[in-house]
Structure 1
Amino acid sequence: MAHVYAVGVGPGSSKYVTEIVKDVVLGCDIVIGYKYTLKTIESLLAGKEVHEITMKDQEDAYQRVARTLGDKKLVVPFTGDVNFSESEVVDRLIEIFGEVQVIPGISAVQVAASKARVPLDKSRVITMHVTTSIEEKKLELQKALIDGYSVVLVPRPWPRIPEKHFMQSEIAKYLKAHGFDTASLKVHVFEFLTTDKETEFVGTVQDLEGREFSDLSVMVINQTKLESYINFDD
């Protein structure tokens, strides 16, 4: 019986790969993943059959391996947490392979929220990093800000199709066009989290207009107010 695992390998540093994911990768025969993701776990890949893929050829790779998998174990690693922003691919793996075991990882969303000191239980987490329509997600972003929540957001890079490209600059312009005072909204933008290339931009949403950031970026719109337990009556 084939064993297929979809695993999260953290936001970039090998230090953020969990022990259970390491064990699964070490125990597998085949690995299919994107270049950046494979780089994160390269020390675990000795002796494995490795397929480096892109969005264009991933389907061919999955189908090719499915035809010859037999009793071998396959791991498909995802940057961050496999349960966030990867549902389209995981659903396709289930369609192709049937039973797929999902093992979570540490998400860049968690790391970004921690660095910005924005608690997730007072935030809305939104990913635009999907191929389907994001119009409802844009409305979700507006509602979250109106309701006073902080927002941890993964933007959508799509430079070849400008109308689908929705990165930080486009988000800033969108919010301004819909009546938000973007000059008063505090924002953090993190790139290449947990790696030696990590950067942080701190400013306002208005400052994002015209600025370009990496595909590997997460933004945090910070509306958090301190609410420690000492401020509440019994």
Structure 2
Amino acid sequence: MIYIVGIGPGSRDYVTKKAFDTVETSDFVLGSKRSLEIFEINGEKIELSVNLKNELYEFLKNYKNSDSKKKVSILSTGDPCFSGLLKTILSFDFVKKEDFEVFPGISSVQMAASKAKISWEDYNILTLHGKEENLKKLLNYVKNGEKVIFLPNNLKNDLKFLIENGISDEKEITVLENLSYSNERIITDKISNLLENDYSYLLVCIIN
């Protein structure tokens, strides 16, 4: 059986007991280096690189062809069902929904909302990860004065796109970086000032 396991924003404190129990009893555990470091792993550990889509494809193809009954856990940062690995795995033509189970995790959007103390049901939610077309949606939301929570692709480039398309660089945005880690940082500032900083790729942004 294949399990897609949501592991929360990054800290062990936000990983569910279900996730720990599933990974502990798995024969294979696949994930990024930082994901694997969260767990005590008894089975075979497989570290995924930047080519994770191809690596997952090859592993799962071989697994399916072998008709294996071994237990596989695939670690997905945050929640697999939002900007996570569920969509990637569903894109594989040989994978059927009955082949796997999904265990949700705490998403970065949930974590950001809790830190900002906002009700995220009032916000439009967007991911820009690999979705350049969503930049136009973000622009339209901002132009219409709507509230948005978004996961940037490259924050500086995304902010420059907004400015180049008529958004004032005086517009304030809250940037939440490295949520749940010891180096967590939360900044609320004008776009012009935000462009002067450097950021990790673990970001959530809020526009009110």
Counterpart CA distance in 2 for 1:125 and 1:149 is 11
Residue 12 of structure 2 corresponds to 14
1:214 aligns with 2:176: no
Residue 123 of structure 1 corresponds to 123
Residue 46 of structure 2 corresponds to 51
Segments of structure 2 that go 5 or more residues without pairing to the other structure are none
Runs of 4+ in 1 over 6 A off after TM superposition: none
TM-superposed CA distance for 1:80, in Å, is 0.4
1:30 aligns with 2:17: no
TM-superposed CA distance for 1:176, in Å, is 1.1
Is the Cα–Cα contact under 8 Å of residues 35 and 52 in structure 1 kept in the other structure? yes
The higher radius of gyration belongs to 1
Segments of structure 1 that go 5 or more residues without pairing to the other structure are 157-166, 224-234
TM-superposed CA distance for 1:18, in Å, is 1.0
Aligned ranges for residues 132-147 of structure 1 at < 5 Å?
133-135=131-133, 137-147=134-144
Q: 1:124 to 1:203 in 2, by over 3 A?
A: same
Counterpart CA distance in 1 for 2:27 and 2:49 is 20
Is the Cα–Cα contact under 8 Å of residues 25 and 43 in structure 2 kept in the other structure? no
Is the Cα–Cα contact under 8 Å of residues 7 and 102 in structure 1 kept in the other structure? yes
1:137-190 deviation per Cα after TM superposition (whole angstroms, max 9, x unaligned)? 11211222233322211112xxxxxxxxxx22112211111111230x221212
TM-superposed CA distance for 1:35, in Å, is 0.9
Residue 151 of structure 1 corresponds to 148
The two structures, once aligned, show a CA RMSD in angstroms of 2.1
Counterpart CA distance in 2 for 1:189 and 1:84 is 19
Counterpart CA distance in 2 for 1:94 and 1:20 is 28
Counterpart CA distance in 2 for 1:35 and 1:92 is 23
Corresponding residue pairs, total: 203
Counterpart CA distance in 2 for 1:149 and 1:69 is 50
Counterpart CA distance in 2 for 1:79 and 1:39 is 12
Alignment-mate amino acid for residue 8 of structure 2: G
TM-superposed CA distance for 1:105, in Å, is 0.5
Q: Secondary structure at the match of 1:182?
A: coil
Point out the more displaced range, 51-60 or 85-94.
85-94
Is the Cα–Cα contact under 8 Å of residues 170 and 209 in structure 1 kept in the other structure? no
- Could you tell me the TM-score, scaled by structure 1's length? 0.78
Is the Cα–Cα contact under 8 Å of residues 11 and 194 in structure 1 kept in the other structure? yes
Of all paired residues, the percent bearing the same amino acid is 28
1:23-66 deviation per Cα after TM superposition (whole angstroms, max 9, x unaligned)? 222232211111121122x23x1x21111111325233333444
TM-superposed CA distance for 1:212, in Å, is 2.2
Is the Cα–Cα contact under 8 Å of residues 66 and 97 in structure 1 kept in the other structure? no
Is the Cα–Cα contact under 8 Å of residues 190 and 219 in structure 1 kept in the other structure? yes
Is the Cα–Cα contact under 8 Å of residues 33 and 52 in structure 1 kept in the other structure? yes
